[in-house]
Amino acid sequence: MTSIFDQDLPQTPANYAAMSPLSFIERSAATYPQQLAVVHGTGPQALRRNWSELYRRCRQLASALSKSGIGKGDTVAVMLPNTPPMVEAHFGVPMAGAVLNTINTRLDPKMVAFMLDHGEAKVVIVDPEFAPTMSKALALRTSSAPIKVIDATDSLYTGSNQPIGDSEYENFIAGGDPDFAWSLPGNEWDAIALNYTSGTTGNPKGVVYHHRGAATAAISNILEWDMPKHAVYLWTLPMFHCNGWCFPWAVAARAGVNVCLRRIEAQAIFDAIREHGVDHYCGAPIVHSMLVNAPDSIKQGVPQGVKAMVAGAAPPASMIEGMERMGFNLLHVYGLTETYGPATVCAQHQNWGDLDIGERARLNARQGVTYHLERGIAVMDPDTMQPVPADGETMGEIMFRGNITMKGYLKNPKATQEALAGGWFHSGDLAVMDPDGYVKIKDRSKDIIISGGENISSIEVEDILYRHPDVLAAAVVARSDKRWGETPCAFIELKDGAQATPESIIEHCKKHMASFKVPRQVVFCELPKTSTGKIQKFELRKQAEALEAAAVQ
């Protein structure tokens, strides 16, 4: 029998609305129209817009896109640094019903072309710095579908400026209506963003985010950080990474300030912190260590209590100590593109502050516990789907479930089903569960190299190496690197009579991949293999670390 609580109590527009981060900007513009929303640059020339202005520009963008025929389920790709148009794209694109595909600005034309093709982008917005790459990518597309190209000029960009598009961004949005009557998605499960991840196998996968998840992730960020209204957030983390971990939407919910930043440089960061009163920023370990290791002269006058989030690798003790010396608070989070960025946090306890630095670093280096509004995290045996004992020793695979887990992989039902099999998202990362319920990664999913916060698929690099005429077999593994966290190290068996040198191999790579993916070291040797002929990367990782140790001595 139907319960009395399920009779005649339907969802109506009065008591049900789609969850969406688009509501956040609407409310902030209505409630705090005069509060600063975006600042770009420093000094009297800095560009400043308040929430009313930003909201109107986002509606203009949505309107202009609509007039261009963009609507529900269409893809709008952007290749932009952390500039004002990037902030606007996070609202204007979904307000038009479209899906935002932020493209990693470090990718090579071929990879960009793949994404434009696979994501079926109908519009692309590009910064002049990346126009040459985009221009080549457009030429490499296999699709013959029309694509509208918009150049987003930026007064802070000082390089060469060669427009490649049909129109310029300011002109384009000028044709839009600043009072455009956008509407929430018909379903909160509708897609809001598309983010390509380099997996372990071949082509990148297109991770689809929906409105419900984006809103939930953004609010979780606020809750975890106790992020107050009008927080001042510095854009050190690229917005093309998991939509900046959903912080464009979190900042909107807080009516905070987006402090834009074209380049991640210590001087520019400290200047922005001082001048704009930055109190929050995120980044890979390399960003924080760059600040810690910056000369004292440029750190003068930086305020205390700045909150920083780090992900991509565990913060070492020296980084935690350095951050403490600057008066910054460092919070360790963990997640994947598939989890909208952070979906666990190494939640700090009040008594940790009393521990010595070694113990503090050990505790803070863990990936931690479930993010606020994610349903759950577990370390499980992927075969039995049973949690491992919380003994800090038994390894299992990190699994996630809940509303901060992707909708799935675009046009890839097989990968989607595999990734979400058994009611959990399989991260591919191996970890243990500590007795206090905190997760600690023990081994990265073995093929991924994380360099400067970027994922590099070893298989992708190997594919290129195998194309070299002299290469018989190749394996690429991560090698520890003080600056980048990890860099790719290539082990290669040459064919008989081969003439290749390590330098010529590197030259070959540079022609075929983004420079950050190019192996920093190439070693010629016989590759260790299992009895069935599988290359033992485990052995190679040990060899790579030994190279490192030798280099240090």
The secondary structure of residue 104, as a DSSP letter, is P
Provide the 3-class DSSP secondary structure of residue 344: strand
Provide the 3-class DSSP secondary structure of residue 6: helix
Residue 30 or 546: which CB sits closer to a second copy?
A: 30
Binding of a second copy by 546 (CB under 8 A): no
Q: Which of residues 53-72 bind a second copy (CB under 8 A)?
A: 72
Question: What mask, x for binding a second copy by CB under 8 A, covers residues 185 to 214?
Answer: ----xxx--x-------------x----x-
Interface residue with a second copy among 405, 451, 455, 458 (CB under 8 A) is: 405
Q: Which string of b and e fits 93-130 if b means at least 16 CB within 10 Å?
A: bbbbbbbbbbbbbbbbbebbbbbbbbbbbbbbbbbbbb
Interface residue with a second copy among 21, 25, 32, 129 (CB under 8 A) is: 32
Binding of a second copy by 402 (CB under 8 A): yes
Amino acid at 184: L
Binding of a second copy by 181 (CB under 8 A): no
Residue 139 or 181: which CB sits closer to a second copy?
A: 181
Closest contact distance (angstroms) between CB of 358 and a second copy is: 23
117: number of CA atoms within 13 Å, CB side? 16
Segment contacting a second copy (CB under 8 A): 275-283, 328-336, 358-366, 369-377? 369-377
Beta pairing class for 280-283 and 232-234: parallel
Closest contact distance (angstroms) between CB of 402 and a second copy is: 4
The secondary structure of residue 371, as a DSSP letter, is -
With the C-alpha atoms ordered 355, 359, 364, 369, is the resulting torsion angle positive or negative?
Answer: negative
Binding of a second copy by 354 (CB under 8 A): no
Strand partners, 493: 473
Interface residue with a second copy among 48, 110, 325, 411 (CB under 8 A) is: 411
Give the Cα separation of 365 and 144 in Å (integer).
48
Residue 219 or 492: which CB sits closer to a second copy?
A: 219
Binding of a second copy by 306 (CB under 8 A): no
Interface residue with a second copy among 48, 110, 229, 325 (CB under 8 A) is: 229
Give the Cα separation of 488 and 545 in Å (integer).
12
Binding of a second copy by 183 (CB under 8 A): no
Residue 149 or 346: which CB sits closer to a second copy?
A: 346
Closest contact distance (angstroms) between CB of 144 and a second copy is: 17
Give the Cα separation of 34 and 334 in Å (integer).
35
Binding of a second copy by 233 (CB under 8 A): no
481: number of CA atoms within 13 Å, CB side? 19
Closest contact distance (angstroms) between CB of 36 and a second copy is: 11
Closest contact distance (angstroms) between CB of 107 and a second copy is: 21
Binding of a second copy by 389 (CB under 8 A): no
Dmax over CA atoms of the chain, in Å, equals 82
The secondary structure of residue 236, as a DSSP letter, is -
Binding of a second copy by 30 (CB under 8 A): yes
Interface residue with a second copy among 9, 139, 181, 552 (CB under 8 A) is: 9
Binding of a second copy by 11 (CB under 8 A): yes
Question: What mask, x for binding a second copy by CB under 8 A, covers residues 437 to 476?
Answer: x---------------------------------------
Smallest Cα–Cα separation from 100: which of 20, 210, 18, 179?
210
Provide the 3-class DSSP secondary structure of residue 233: strand
State both tokens at 295.
């000369």
Binding of a second copy by 253 (CB under 8 A): yes
Q: Which residue, chain included where needed, has tokens 């932009």?
A: 80
Interface residue with a second copy among 94, 408, 428, 453 (CB under 8 A) is: 408
Provide the 3-class DSSP secondary structure of residue 485: strand
Give the Cα separation of 339 and 209 in Å (integer).
9
Instruction: Please return the burial class of 65, using the count of CB atoms within 10 Å of its CB with bins 0-12, 13-18 and 19+.
Output: buried
Smallest Cα–Cα separation from 150: which of 73, 235, 89, 225?
89
Residue 262 or 407: which CB sits closer to a second copy?
A: 407
Closest contact distance (angstroms) between CB of 210 and a second copy is: 8
Binding of a second copy by 435 (CB under 8 A): no
Smallest Cα–Cα separation from 259: which of 470, 432, 49, 542?
49
Question: Do the beta carbons of residue 425 and residue 419 sit within 8 Å?
Answer: yes
Work out the angle at residue 216's Cα, subtended by the Cα atoms of residues 214 and 217, and round it to the nearest 5 degrees.
65
Q: In Å, how far are 204, 381, 409, 422, 477 from 415, measured between CA atoms?
A: 11, 19, 7, 13, 24
Q: Which of residues 312-351 bind a second copy (CB under 8 A)?
A: 347, 349-350
Binding of a second copy by 102 (CB under 8 A): no
Binding of a second copy by 101 (CB under 8 A): no
Residue 411 or 467: which CB sits closer to a second copy?
A: 411
Interface residue with a second copy among 423, 435, 469, 497 (CB under 8 A) is: 423
Closest contact distance (angstroms) between CB of 243 and a second copy is: 15
Question: Do the beta carbons of residue 238 and residue 283 sit within 8 Å?
Answer: no
Total number of residues that touch a second copy (CB under 8 A): 70
Instruction: Tell me which residues touch a second copy (CB under 8 A).
Output: 3-17, 19, 23, 27, 30-32, 72-74, 99, 120, 184, 189-191, 194, 208, 213, 219, 222-223, 226, 228-230, 253, 347, 349-350, 369-370, 372-373, 375, 400-403, 405-408, 410-413, 416, 419-425, 437
